[in-house]
Amino acid sequence: HDAEKLMESAMQLQQIMLLYEAGIREIKTKLDILSDESNISGKPSPIDSIKSRIKSPRSIIKKLKRRGFPISLQSMMDNLNDIGGIRVICPFIQDIYTVADMLMRQSDLTLIEKKDYIANPKPNGYRSLHLILEVPIFLSETTKPVRIELQLRTIAMDFWASLEHQLRYKSDVQVPPHISDDLKECADVIAATDEEMQRIAKELHVLR
Ligand code: 0O2
């Protein structure tokens, strides 16, 4: 009986993970098509690179606990929107909105939530555009919607966020306030450089 129960839970988990992997594949394909379309028309692609990940069980449980949600597969699907995540790295700030608009125009995608941490950076200096998109997954008998978190950022924003993430997670001590101020200062310098690079690109007619 125990073996049956274990088998049932394992299969349920596998089915859920299949959905998230499929959701990531669907949206990545859409992004690849948009990038290829730019390339063949001789325009520079608004996408520099794409990364994706499935949240680890450890992080899923940590987040459910932190938010006070029940620890179950159903709760994970209902309450977390970032189990499947895609990060789109763009050359220029404007490219982020170009890519986001292109995706939001696609009729099979539903925008569930948009957080613009570029227009409104986090107090620590973090900048990115976050979209929660719902994509239908067509299975043999049914169609299941799955939510995927998209983080869109420039190369410069990604540089800061990746290093800040490493510094925060690698250090066992709480980051002291003067270091947070230094990191915020770095974020602001990087943001100013991003603006400047965009201005140059516009002046050279690389960006419209
Ligand atoms: P990981 O390892 O990237 O998966 P919450 O997830 O509770 O913080 P919310 O509202 O669900 O908050 O999502 P939010 O704030 O829109 O975005 C969360 C994700 O954005 C994080 O995922 C990070 O990937 C990224 N992010 C947000 N703030 C920062 C920041 O200050 N620095 C860096 N480097 N990344 C940030 P996870 O789950 O925290 O981590």
Q: Across residues 76-93, what is the average pLDDT?
A: 96
**In terms of residues, how long is the chain?**
208
User: Beta strands 129-138 and 49-54: pairing type?
Assistant: unpaired
Instruction: Establish if 34 belongs to a structural domain.
Output: yes
Is residue 124 lining ligand 1, measured as CB closer than 6 Å? yes
Q: How high is the ipTM of this complex?
A: 0.91
By most ligand atoms within 8 Å of CB, the mutation choice from 86, 126, 128 for ligand 1 is 126
pTM: 0.93
Instruction: Establish if 89 belongs to a structural domain.
Output: yes
pLDDT at residue 175 in the model: 83
Containing structural domain, residue 118: 2-155
Instruction: Establish if 101 belongs to a structural domain.
Output: yes
Instruction: Establish if 59 belongs to a structural domain.
Output: yes
Count Cβ atoms within 10 A of the Cβ of residue 38 and give its class: 0-12 exposed, 13-18 middle, 19 or more buried. middle
Instruction: Establish if 109 belongs to a structural domain.
Output: yes
Indicate the helix (H) or strand (E) that contains 145. Answer: strand 143-154
3-state SS, residue 142:
coil
3-state SS, residue 41:
coil
Per the prediction, the chain carries an average pLDDT of: 95
Sheet holding 49-54, edge to edge: 49-54, 84-90, 143-154, 129-138, 110-116
Alpha-carbon distance values, 141 to 12, 75, 77 (Å) = 16, 24, 20
* Whole-angstrom Cα Rg for the chain: 19
For the chain, the domain total comes to 1
pLDDT, tens digit (0-9, with 9 covering 90-100), for 36-71:
999 999 889 999 999 999 999 899 999 999 999 999
Instruction: Establish if 176 belongs to a structural domain.
Output: no
Is residue 158 lining ligand 1, measured as CB closer than 6 Å? no
Instruction: Establish if 81 belongs to a structural domain.
Output: yes
3-state SS, residue 51:
strand
Query: The domain spanning residue 47 has which CATH number?
Result: 3.30.460.10
pLDDT, tens digit (0-9, with 9 covering 90-100), for 88-119:
999 999 999 999 999 999 999 999 999 999 99
- Closest approach atom of ligand 1 to CA 151: 20
Instruction: Establish if 10 belongs to a structural domain.
Output: yes
